[in-house]
Amino acid sequence: MTALPDVSPEPIVYLNGEVVPLSEARVPVLDRGFIFGDGIYEVAPLYAHAGGRTAFRFEQHLARLARSLAKVGIANPFDNAGWRALIERVVAANEAEAGLAAGQDAIAYIQVTRGVAKRGHAFPAGIQPTVFLMVTPLNLPDAALRAEGVRCVSAEDRRWLNCDIKSVSLLGNVLMAQYAAENDAFETIQFRDGMLTEGSSSNVWVVKDGVLSAPPRSQKILEGIRYGLIEELSAECGIRFEVREMNEAEVRAADEIILSSATKEVLPVTQLDSQPVGEGKPGAVFAALYDAYQRAKANEAQEAQQGAKNDPRERITV
């Protein structure tokens, strides 16, 4: 038996109806997630606050999960209430049995594959999706990293043209993350045909003369849940926001470059391919967005604690 990688304390996970320690969760090798990368995933932060944890922008994570599943023809195994109940159950199990401490931010990792079948490329009839949920502690970038910013490298985006689907077929992204690691960088910023797309696991934002720009939503990027959020936060902060294609020269001449993702929130890029970005330190737009992001978290936590009875958005409080 292959040893479990170091994930101590061992999380409690959900797999196909069972809530078990990670080492007891087994998937048959003919699972199409293993054989073909035929599956979808979602990564949602569960931010801790005084009253528990709030699944931040959870309704949007669930909507993206539903969209991704629909695009590849896998039936969504739960409705939104079902997903929320499942996460609450797994969080409770981790608190009770896996040392998930109150006040600790967490990440919900959801994966749904097409299921288990005799190997053959086209969709098999009549199989059940494999459903996996794991809740693990989330350690957000610390103040020192935010103050320093991160180094990035750049590379040609060679991924497929369905990057809007949050598929577990991530080899293209894995190679880009490895390229960053080998070059002592935090992330690889990708360009397709000379135009900015995104990082290996983050969206990329560019600031020039006080204007915040993002590449258009398209099949060339995964629309992060932070994409719409940052759009909202920039309006709240009075930062001018534009969606537009950006070429390499524009990105290299940026005053600021910012990364966003569930596990990074927003992070300033202070070096790209060994050249300083702007003045080589985190900029004012980053600082404003970071503060606004923290306010958005606090607001959601407060609304969740108050029950948010008339709030049409769905969220869980765990």
The set of catalytic residues is 166
DSSP assignment letter at 22: G
Rounded CA separation 267/86 (Å): 31
Closest CA to 164 of 67, 39, 264: 67
Rounded CA separation 45/136 (Å): 10
79: helix, coil or strand?
Answer: coil
Rounded CA separation 289/33 (Å): 37
Q: Which of residues 30-59 bind ligand PDD (CB under 6 A)?
A: 43
Q: How far is the CB of 262 from ligand PDD (least distance, A)?
A: 3
Q: How far is the CB of 232 from ligand PDD (least distance, A)?
A: 13
Of the pair 262, 285, the CB lying nearest ligand PDD is at: 262
Rounded CA separation 203/191 (Å): 12
Asked if 287 is part of the footprint of ligand PDD (rule: CB under 6 A), the reply reads no
Number of residues lying near ligand PDD (CB under 6 A)? 14
Asked if 167 is part of the footprint of ligand PDD (rule: CB under 6 A), the reply reads no
Asked if 222 is part of the footprint of ligand PDD (rule: CB under 6 A), the reply reads yes
Residue nearest to ligand PDD (CB): 224
Of the pair 49, 64, the CB lying nearest ligand PDD is at: 64
Q: What is the DSSP string of 134-191?
A: EEEE-----HHHHHH-EEEEEEE--S-S-TTS-BS--HHHHHHHHHHHHTT-SEEEEE
Q: How far is the CB of 309 from ligand PDD (least distance, A)?
A: 27
Closest CA to 256 of 239, 247, 265, 268: 268
Which of 68, 154, 190, 260 lies at the binding interface for ligand PDD (CB under 6 A)? Answer: 260
Asked if 198 is part of the footprint of ligand PDD (rule: CB under 6 A), the reply reads yes
Q: How far is the CB of 67 from ligand PDD (least distance, A)?
A: 12
Q: Segment contacting ligand PDD (CB under 6 A): 70-78, 144-152, 196-204, 296-304?
A: 196-204
Which of 98, 262, 267, 316 lies at the binding interface for ligand PDD (CB under 6 A)? Answer: 262
Tell me if 141 sits within 8 A of 258, measured CB to CB.
no
Asked if 201 is part of the footprint of ligand PDD (rule: CB under 6 A), the reply reads yes
Asked if 297 is part of the footprint of ligand PDD (rule: CB under 6 A), the reply reads no
Q: How far is the CB of 202 from ligand PDD (least distance, A)?
A: 5
Which of 52, 129, 149, 224 lies at the binding interface for ligand PDD (CB under 6 A)? Answer: 224
Q: Which of residues 133-152 bind ligand PDD (CB under 6 A)?
A: none
Asked if 110 is part of the footprint of ligand PDD (rule: CB under 6 A), the reply reads no
Cα-atom radius of gyration of the chain, to the nearest Å?
Answer: 20
250: helix, coil or strand?
Answer: helix
Closest CA to 223 of 197, 256, 187, 254: 197
Q: How far is the CB of 306 from ligand PDD (least distance, A)?
A: 26
Residue at token pair 């059940």: 128
The binding site for ligand PDD (CB under 6 A) comprises 43, 173, 198, 201-203, 222, 224-226, 260-263
